[in-house]
Chains A and B, each alone.
Chain A
């Protein structure tokens, strides 16, 4: 699977902490990735066995809302994600030689790492 900037941003968010489950729109808000794009990226990561998707276990009547679909990193995802985030060098920083910025809010140009 190609590790794009969007995948890196998702890895970075889901590794803090690694075991925490996220739902799609929550991840989209945290990473500033488009809410529609996030599902395509998560689907690719799921197919590559980097994340695991499961339904909320609580009863919807207790929650007062429908069950969410939650995404968690698999052991492979944690390993790949940790390496990918550590080796991440966004292109925009190379071009502008600016100060380092946090990953999620940066939204650098698209491309492979």
Chain B
């Protein structure tokens, strides 16, 4: 499995980095604005993310350079903006740092964290759960892949509609879990019938992609968007899903390197 993941990971790593540059730019904005006081931080994030989207949509490197150049403005604005007593309280500072109305970034971080953790778990599972190694390898890999696909589709859909209601988020989360359940069930069938994981992945690619897309359209608004989607939009969802899965593969490969170098959990 590791050889297979390594091959895919290496071949897609360059494309993944290139595709992630806009996400990195948004992450840079998110990090830079942490030094700003509450309301100002939200304003700047929203303003700069809008301009990043508008002006640098197809200019990834220029967009990244632009976001890096904003750090001095953040430093200046953070130093010169008066902070009210309410914003000086530790509780408000911590809450303001962790929470943001721009949940896209939070979902992105979650996606990365999930990919990294699951990847590490896949490689190390045989060290602390030897009996579950075979099944665990397949199931965790497939579930992580499905999660990446589903969540990335949700992220992509949310970027197109910045304001999501609570019910929409609940629906998307349930769909995400549902997608994972379906993949686990099908993956279990594949494992018990002796099919290799590569075959199962091939077999499940389309269903997983489908569930990921459904996760992005779980409310009437999503359904309306689904009906109005252009082939280009669908291609964008697909590309984002593939990128997320490639990221996961790269994470597994990296963890495999750590494992073969003697770095284990157990």
Chains A and B bind each other:
yes
CB-CB < 8 A to B43: which residues of A?
Answer: 69
What 0/1 readout, one digit per residue, does chain B (42-86) give for beta carbons within 8 Å of chain A?
010011011101110000000000100110110011000000000
CB-CB < 8 A to A68: which residues of B?
Answer: 47, 50-51, 54
* Measured CA separation A66–B127 after assembly (Å): 47
B236 in contact (CB, < 8 A): no
In A28-80, the 8 Å CB interface with B consists of: 34-37, 39-40, 43, 55, 60-61, 64-69
CB <8 Å contact, A34 and B51 = no
CB <8 Å contact, A69 and B161 = no
* Measured CA separation A70–B52 after assembly (Å): 15
Residue of B47, B76, B221 with most partner-chain A CB within 10 A: B47
A25 in contact (CB, < 8 A): yes
**Dominant SS at the B interface?**
helix
Distance to closest chain B CB from A66 (angstroms): 4
CB-CB < 8 A to A40: which residues of B?
Answer: 73, 76-77
CB-CB < 8 A to B72: which residues of A?
Answer: 36
CB-CB < 8 A to A23: which residues of B?
Answer: 50-51, 54
CB <8 Å contact, B53 and A66 = yes
* Measured CA separation A24–B52 after assembly (Å): 11
Offer 25 A-B interface pairs, CB within 8 angstroms, sorted by A. A23-B51, A23-B54, A24-B51, A34-B69, A35-B69, A36-B69, A36-B70, A36-B72, A36-B73, A39-B77, A43-B77, A55-B46, A60-B161, A60-B162, A60-B163, A65-B50, A65-B54, A66-B49, A66-B54, A67-B46, A67-B162, A68-B51, A68-B54, A69-B47, A69-B50
Chain B residues engaging chain A, CB cutoff 8 angstroms: 43, 46-47, 49-51, 53-55, 66, 69-70, 72-73, 76-77, 160-163, 221
Chain A residues engaging chain B, CB cutoff 8 angstroms: 23-25, 34-37, 39-40, 43, 55, 60-61, 64-69
Further 20 A-B residue pairs, CB within 8 A, beyond A36-B70, A67-B50, A68-B51: A24-B47, A24-B51, A25-B51, A34-B69, A35-B66, A35-B69, A37-B73, A39-B70, A39-B77, A40-B76, A60-B161, A65-B50, A65-B53, A66-B49, A66-B50, A67-B162, A68-B50, A69-B43, A69-B46, A69-B50
